[in-house]
Amino acid sequence: MHPGLSWMTPGRFTERLPLVDAWAWLDACPDAMGTEAAPLYQAFGRVLPAPLTFPADRPERDLALVDGHAVQAASTLGASTYNPLFLTIVPKGMPLTAGGASVCHAGETLPSGADAVLPVDVGEAVGTALEVCDAVALGFGVGRTGQAARRDGVAIEAGRRLGAPQIALAASLGVPQLIVRRRPVVTLVFAGPKPPAIEALCLATSALVARDGGIAHCARRHLDMARMLSCVAPADLFLVVGRSGWGEDDDAMHVITAAGGRIDHHGLALTPGGSAGLGWLGGAPLLLLPGDPLSALVTYELLAGRLLRRLAGRASDFPCPIQRLLLSRKIASPVGVSEFVPVVCHGSSVEPLALTPADGLAGYARADGFLVVPAGLEGYAPGALVDVVTMPGHISRQEEL
């Protein structure tokens, strides 16, 4: 009897590359991404190749940090509710001398001569006099020039992925645009899948490419695919989806070679996705992904996303949180093959979902995350602690709608 389904153990691959070796291949691909200017509103999620420095001391001048009266601290010495002192209120903009006080608001430049701010609740104006019922320490309520940062000091470090705090800081420094790492261009060529699978994969992989910091260009197979491949615009990464197997219409290897590309490895010790390949086209890495939707999405997540994130200047790890959870049912997995297993989370325990080729995406779409059984293991016993990549969809299930 034939022992298993051929999609799990493609018989024609004589040497199947272990997943860890595929990762090493991906991690060794050169990173020659340049930079470009991006207006701030387009800079979210981008990565700074060089630090952004402060264009001036911050604050640029001594500032009041609180609402109240600018004073010389020494003039308030000894003041208390039992022994109020009286200062003379001078108009705003005038230099301050001993015994004087000047109304000021948080954020305003401190008048010259002042060295502290008396908060509003400690001084009360009585005509042109200010009744002071507490002493204030030298420097209280004052932001000193350069206290927060010095001119040319680092405002945002190199390698930082820009989020709201960084973009807001850049805007508050008056910076109109930032020099950021260029977004990798990913050309997706759908060589195999037919409607509606091609629509499904085009939508899903384009969204995943955007999630991982790239720009997706989708192309459908032409009749003369080798010619088409050889004249597509330069890309930072090619993903050829479909026709990766050994059936009579599986010509992806052939057309990639005919287009001047090459495949370094064809066949991975991975399930699903065992017919994936790794190679080159026009100086850029090319990944051959299987055309069935499940295998295509799995190999995107396990292979393409990893390389793309690094090219985009991000960490190559999975972009979703990894949680250590308790396995509720055993997973049996063939030794020598890394197996992608989608799981459903129930609190701190996870249940593996069995995938069969007939499922298509039905199983994966129910999953809250996935784990990868390493090639060296026969699986996991029930109760094992496993590292699960949790996908954002799962979070909302805690919520009542």
Q: Which of 98, 106, 126, 381: binder of its own copies (CB under 8 A)?
A: 106
Strands 268-271 and 338-346: parallel
Q: What angle do CA 18, 197, 340 make, to 5 degrees?
A: 25
Nearest alpha carbon to residue 312 among 225, 400, 185, 208: 185
* Contact string 165-184 vs its own copies (x = CB under 8 A): xxxxxxxxxx------x---
- The least distance separating its own copies from the CB of residue 230, rounded to whole angstroms, comes to 28
* DSSP state letters, 203-215: HHHHHHHHHTT-E
Dist CA 391 CA 374 (whole Å)? 20
> Of the candidates 19, 22, 59, 270, which one interacts with its own copies according to CB under 8 A?
59
Interaction of residue 156 with its own copies, rule CB under 8 A? yes
131 binds its own copies (CB under 8 A): no
Provide, rounded to whole angstroms, the least separation between the CB of residue 363 and its own copies.
8
State the nearest-atom distance from the C-beta of 71 to its own copies, in Å: 12
What's the angle, vertex CA 219, arms to CA 341 and CA 12, rounded to 5?
50
Write out the binding residues for its own copies, residues 320-359 only, by CB under 8 A. Answer: 321, 356-359
Q: Are 36 and 42 in contact (CB under 8 A)?
A: no
CB nearer to its own copies: give 36 or 377. 36
Which residue among 261, 293, 334, 352 contacts its own copies (CB under 8 A)? 293
Report the distance separating Cα 261 and Cα 258, nearest Å. Answer: 7
Measured CA to CA, the distance from residue 132 to residue 79 in angstroms comes to 6
Both tokens of residue 101? 């006080």
- Other CB atoms closer than 10 Å to residue 350's CB: what's the count? 26
Residue selected from 29, 125, 149, 179 as contacting its own copies according to rule CB under 8 A: 149
Beta strands, E only, 21-176: 35-39, 52-53, 63-64, 68-71, 85-89, 100-104, 116-119, 123-126, 129-132, 142-143, 154-156
Q: Could you say which of 36, 134, 251, 351 contacts its own copies (CB under 8 A)?
A: 134
Determine the size of the site formed for its own copies (CB under 8 A): 107
* Binding status of residue 49 toward its own copies by CB under 8 A: yes
* Interaction residues for its own copies, span 241-280 (CB under 8 A): 245-249
Residues in contact with its own copies, shown as a per-residue x/- string from 355 to 384 under the rule CB under 8 A = -xxxxxxxxxxxx-----------------
The single residue among 310, 325, 350, 373 that binds its own copies, judged by CB under 8 A, is 310
Q: Which of these ranges, 15-23, 88-96, 157-165, 324-332, lies near its own copies under the rule CB under 8 A?
A: 157-165
Q: Is 148 in the site for its own copies (CB under 8 A)?
A: yes
